[in-house]
Amino acid sequence: MKISKFHILMAGMLLFTLNLLAQDDDQDPTAQGSVIQNLTPSKLIAKGQWDIKLFNNLYTQTESTFASEDGIRQNFFTSTLEAFTGVSDTRRVNLGAILEYRANGRDFVSPTGGTERRTTSGLTSIAPAIKVVPFKNVGNFSILSAFSIPLIDSEVDDNGVFLDQKGFTWQNRFFYDYTFPGKKWQIFSEINSEFNFGDKEESFANNSLRLTPGVFLSYFPSSKFTVLVLGQHTELVDLGNDFSQNFTALGGGAKYQLTDELNVEVLYTNFVRGRDTGLGETFNIGLRAVF
């Protein structure tokens, strides 16, 4: 795909957004119940509202399908800040930005046989983003589109520690949720697609397409508390970079509504299988404020 085609797609999305802004919809998904129960990622906020989320993810591994990496402790910490605001009376268009900060470390074996821990960190990317509800009568289906701009000069620092991908990424995430009668059970699904631009010499993932479907099943003992289980699969498709991989993760967690505006979530996942990837686990904690 050439950049010129990308510009055409972005222009089409802008026209689509202007069309949504001209339409009317007074549905309020937060009229009853808590944010964690009613304002899932599938649903958008109203004009003038803000939705701010800080999500911290620690991935750690000592197992890998790469023989050279197996047995080596590696940690990858990512802190993601998302901020969106409603810009239409229809609750069908939100605008925002996504920032990512990373702090990674790994063990190196010295010539004397000892182990040395090396680390690197920094703000690695920023992405302007838009969320839309494409169908007026389907308020529980939405699309998030973001264009990630790298803020790093090199993927690997002088100490040999990987920090992040170096390349522009166009991300599209498709969200859908369904709440069963009685509002005790809810299923949420997501398909994330990421197209990585650029020369393959600049990044292991450039000239590739990453697809990540996921399913989350939640149970609500009360409107302010939920426990959930999840399954996700990621497939990196080779589009000319001579590298592909895949992995599957299973896990669970919980969310609690601390106040009317603020909620907290904790998640755990385990990489149960994969090809050309690490086989680690993640520990996650997030805070979300809607006001």
At 210-241, the pLDDT tens digits run 999 999 999 999 999 999 999 999 999 999 98
Mean pLDDT of the chain: 90
CA distances from 196 to 127, 148, 172, 209, 241 (A): 13, 9, 12, 6, 10
Q: What percent of the chain has pLDDT over 90?
A: 79
Using the predicted structure, report yes or no on whether residue 54 has a pLDDT greater than 80.
Answer: yes
CA angle 165, 63, 209 (to 5 degrees): 35
Using the predicted structure, report yes or no on whether residue 23 has a pLDDT greater than 60.
Answer: no
E strand residue ranges, the chain: 50-61, 74-86, 93-109, 115-132, 141-150, 169-179, 185-196, 208-222, 225-238, 245-257, 262-275, 281-290
Using the predicted structure, report yes or no on whether residue 4 has a pLDDT greater than 50.
Answer: no
Q: Residue 144 in contact with residue 173, Cβ under 8 Å?
A: yes
**What is the rounded distance in angstroms from the CA atom of residue 63 to the CA atom of residue 247?**
13
Domains annotated for the chain, with CATH where assigned, are 3-290 (2.40.128.130)
User: Tokens at residue 214, please?
Assistant: 């996921």
Nearest to 70 by CA among 223, 280, 285, 287: 280
User: Rounded mean pLDDT of 187-196?
Assistant: 98
CA angle 273, 99, 212 (to 5 degrees): 25
User: Tokens at residue 170, please?
Assistant: 């166009």
Q: Residue 29 in contact with residue 49, Cβ under 8 Å?
A: no
Task: Quote the pLDDT of residue 31.
Answer: 52
Using the predicted structure, report yes or no on whether residue 6 has a pLDDT greater than 50.
Answer: no
Q: Which residue would you say has higher pLDDT here, 110 or 102?
A: 102
Q: Residue 270 in contact with residue 250, Cβ under 8 Å?
A: yes
Using the predicted structure, report yes or no on whether residue 198 has a pLDDT greater than 90.
Answer: no
Task: Quote the pLDDT of residue 2.
Answer: 40
Kindly provide the b/e burial profile for residues 108-141, where b requires at least 16 CB atoms within 10 angstroms of the residue's own CB. Answer: eeeeeeeeeeeebeeebbbbebbbbbeeeeebbb
Per DSSP, 197 falls in state P
CA angle 265, 270, 276 (to 5 degrees): 130
Using the predicted structure, report yes or no on whether residue 51 has a pLDDT greater than 80.
Answer: yes
**What is the rounded distance in angstroms from the CA atom of residue 216 to the CA atom of residue 238?**
28
10: phi then psi, degrees, rounded to nearest 5? -65, -40
